[in-house]
Amino acid sequence: MIEHAGFRPYELPLRHAWNSARGGFAQRCGWLVWVEADGLTGYGDCAPLPAAGTETHEAAGAALARLTASLPGQDVATGLAALDADGDTSETPAARFALECALTDLASRHQGLSLRDWLAPDSAPIARISVNAMLGPLGTVRGEDLVTRHAQGFRVLKLKVGVETPASDLDALIALMRPPLVGAGLDVGLRLDANGAWSFDQARRLIERLIQLRLPIESIEEPLTEPTPERLAALQALAPFPLALDESLPARFATHDTSRLAGTDPAQFGVRRLVLKPAALGGLRRTLELARRAQAAGIEVVVTSLVESAAGLWPTAQLAGAIASPIPQGLATADWLAADLGRAPRPCAGRLELPDRSGSGFVPWPPASTDSGTQEARAVEPVSGDDPNPGANPSLG
């Protein structure tokens, strides 16, 4: 029986401002959410990011107040069923994700299962997840950074493009991959994320040049400002690498609404890959369902974080373990944060290792002696000793 459910605000500074064609941020603000039942506590993270397809901070806060107030007195299964039946959460995916994480963390702890095993009991979840490194905007990255990331074990390196013009991006990519430092010998693929920066003609011309130059492009996320399925399919027919949908997915396919998700055919999207952010899609289980439908249709999936706290990164990584996509996932974001709410999953040799213990893996730092009403955040050092984006301009923050 649930005795208590609550949420406390947090603010986590970044080491460097995050920048993209959709704007950026220098800190992540959200709430640690928890639910207590029978001596155990489950945790979730609500960190809205409207540019990635979530609700606003205000809407998320109001939804958390309503949802947590309704839980005490219910058992965990009933709380999850009530969340599923709650149509009002369709406009507040980050709040819904947070509550679902807390309830499923609790349910899996009660059953002594890791969250990935609880989510996917009939399949074969994986505990080692290959991840991409996230280097930041192309203009801030140097050839040495690619070499360093390669030496750390990453084989897919993600760069933000579309912050500058397509012509400058192309020049910067050519300069970045110039021998002898990088050259053809470095075994890495570049995952470019345009965050909707380009017109169809800009994207087509750029893709044609990338092909001519034989640059090692692994994929491009959200190339188009107006990503209609027809335009995307035309571009995808041209590109030898996958194009991916990301932030345009929640709104376009109304995946906040489970009933509409069930009627969605991923083959109609026009692209070879979907980037799935469970906090923008409204939860772990519906993202798992969408991933399965996509994989059955031959579409690749990549689970990524919202650059949120360890309380959100752990369940998102567990979801990736349940989905078991064979390509690198977008979960190496913990080192972007200068402080966190608990120990975060961090890659070693380009992989995250998920623990076998029950639940999501998140454990908050023990409370400090003073009660400020704000969740305690502690400064953290990057585990590898490497800054995620040493070339980034700190003045952006």
Ligand X SMILES: O=C(O)CCC(=O)C1=CC=C[C@@H](O)[C@@H]1C(=O)O
Under the binding rule (CB under 6 A), the answer on residue 19 touching ligand X is no
Q: Which of 94, 134, 135, 177 binds ligand X (CB under 6 A)?
A: 134
> Between 76 and 243, whose beta carbon lies closer to ligand X?
243
Bridge pairing between strands 128-137 and 40-46 = unpaired
Is 38 assigned a ligand-binding role in the annotation?
no
> Between 202 and 305, whose beta carbon lies closer to ligand X?
305
DSSP label of 21: T
Under the binding rule (CB under 6 A), the answer on residue 306 touching ligand X is yes
Q: Which of 89, 195, 248, 309 binds ligand X (CB under 6 A)?
A: 195
Take residue 311 and report the two structure tokens written for it. Answer: 């309380």
Please indicate whether residue 160 is annotated as part of the active site.
yes
> Nearest CA to 348 among 384, 380, 324?
384
349 CB-side CA count, 13 A: 2
Catalytic residue among 15, 96, 160, 286: 160
DSSP label of 336: G
Under the binding rule (CB under 6 A), the answer on residue 132 touching ligand X is yes
Q: Which contiguous run of DSSP H or E holds residue 255?
A: none
Bridge pairing between strands 378-379 and 339-340 = antiparallel
Mapped onto helix, strand or coil, the DSSP state of residue 148 is helix
Please indicate whether residue 158 is annotated as part of the active site.
no
Residue 291 near residue 266 (C-beta atoms within 8 A): no
Segment interacting with Mg ion (CB under 5 A) among 9-17, 188-196, 312-320, 358-366: 188-196
Segment interacting with ligand X (CB under 6 A) among 36-44, 141-149, 299-307, 311-319: 299-307
> Between 196 and 321, whose beta carbon lies closer to Mg ion?
196
Distance CA 134, CA 113 (A): 31
How many residues bind ligand X (CB under 6 A)? The answer is 18
Helices marked H in 265-309 — which ranges?
278-281, 284-296
> Between 193 and 308, whose beta carbon lies closer to Mg ion?
193
Catalytic residue among 16, 109, 158, 277: 277
Contacts to Mg ion by CB under 5 A: 193, 221, 246
Q: From the annotation, which residues make up the binding site for Mg(2+)?
A: 193, 221, 246
